[in-house]
Amino acid sequence: MSTPMNNLGIVKRNIARADKAAVDKLSRFGVATIHEAMGRVGLMHPYMRPIYPDAQVCGTAVTVLLQPGDNWMLHVAAEQLQPGDVVVAACTVDNTDGFFGDLLATSFRARGALGLIIDGGVRDVKDLTEMKFPVFSRAISARGTVKATLGSVNIPVVVANAVVNPGDVVVADVDGVVVVPRELVGAVADASQKREDNEEAKRQKFREGVLGLDIYGMREPLAAAGLEYVED
C-alpha cells in the first residue's frame, strides 16, 4: 500500500533520540509544569487516561501508526525499542479495540521500554497494573485485533491531536500526556525547574492567605477590564 505519496508500510530504523541526561532531568517534573514551561503547547487531548491512577512515564518516543482493529505494527515496533523508550501509537481512525495486553507489555519491557501511549484501547489491565507497566489510552477494551494491514513505525504521527516525531520525549501522569520536541528537552527541563522554584514561593504565600489578586497584581487589570463589585 506504500506509495511515494504516503508514509505507510515503512519502518525507520535509525532515529535520533533526545539526550538521555536531559530526559532524566525532565522526568522529575509533572505534565502540567512541563506544558506551562513550554508556553502552553504540546498536550494530547484529555480523553487519554492512565489505566491505573498513579501511572506515570517519561521517555523517548518510538512512534507507531496502527490500522483499526490491527496490532501488527506493535510487534514490528518492538524490535526498534531501546532502553528508555516509550511506544507512542496513533491509529488511522477512531478505534477502541484492545491492541495491547500483558504479552506485548512483557515483550516491550524485555526490550527496555518504559510504557505505552496509545490512541486506542488496551486490555489485560489487571495484569498490566500488577506489572506496574504504565499505559495511557483512549479506552479499555477486551476486543482482540488481527494482523493483516500495514501501518508504519517511526514516522511522525498525530496522537490525540498532538504531533509526535520519533525521538521526541513524551511525559505522562494523571494530569495527561505532553510531547516535548527532541531538541527542546534540555531547555524545557530548565524552564520547568524555574517554574517549580517560582511556584514554591507562591504556594507559601497562598498558604498564609495572601490572595492571587495581590500576588499576581490582578486588581488593576480587572478594574481596567470593567469588573464591578456590587454590594448586594
Subset of residues 21 to 60 that bind its own copies, contact rule: CB under 8 A: 30-32, 35-43, 45-46, 49, 52-54
How far apart are CB 24 and its own copies at their closest, in Å?
A: 19
- Tell which residue, 225, 174, 211, has the closest CA to residue 49: 174
Does residue 186 interact with its own copies by CB under 8 A? no
Q: x/- contact string, 141-180, with its own copies (CB under 8 A)?
A: xxxx-xxxxx-----x-x--xxx---------xxxx-x--
Integer Cα distance of 120 and 178 in angstroms: 17
Nearer to its own copies, 53 or 197 (CB): 53
Residue 7 CB contacts under 8 Å (≥ 6 apart), including other chains: 65, 152, 155, 156
How far apart are CB 211 and its own copies at their closest, in Å?
A: 5
Angle at 44 between CA 78 and CA 79, to 5 degrees: 5
User: Contacting its own copies (CB under 8 A), which of 97, 99, 166, 170?
Assistant: 97
What grid cell was written down for 120?
Answer: 486506542
# chain residues binding its own copies, by CB under 8 A? 109
How far apart are CB 85 and its own copies at their closest, in Å?
A: 14
Does residue 191 interact with its own copies by CB under 8 A? yes
Kindly identify the residues of this chain, within the stretch 118-147, that bind its own copies according to CB under 8 A: 121, 123-126, 139-144, 146-147
Point out which residues pair with 87 in neighbouring strands: 62, 116
Does residue 111 interact with its own copies by CB under 8 A? yes
- Tell which residue, 74, 65, 36, 64, has the closest CA to residue 171: 36
Integer Cα distance of 143 and 123 in angstroms: 8
Integer Cα distance of 164 and 42 in angstroms: 9
Nearer to its own copies, 60 or 72 (CB): 72
How far apart are CB 167 and its own copies at their closest, in Å?
A: 12
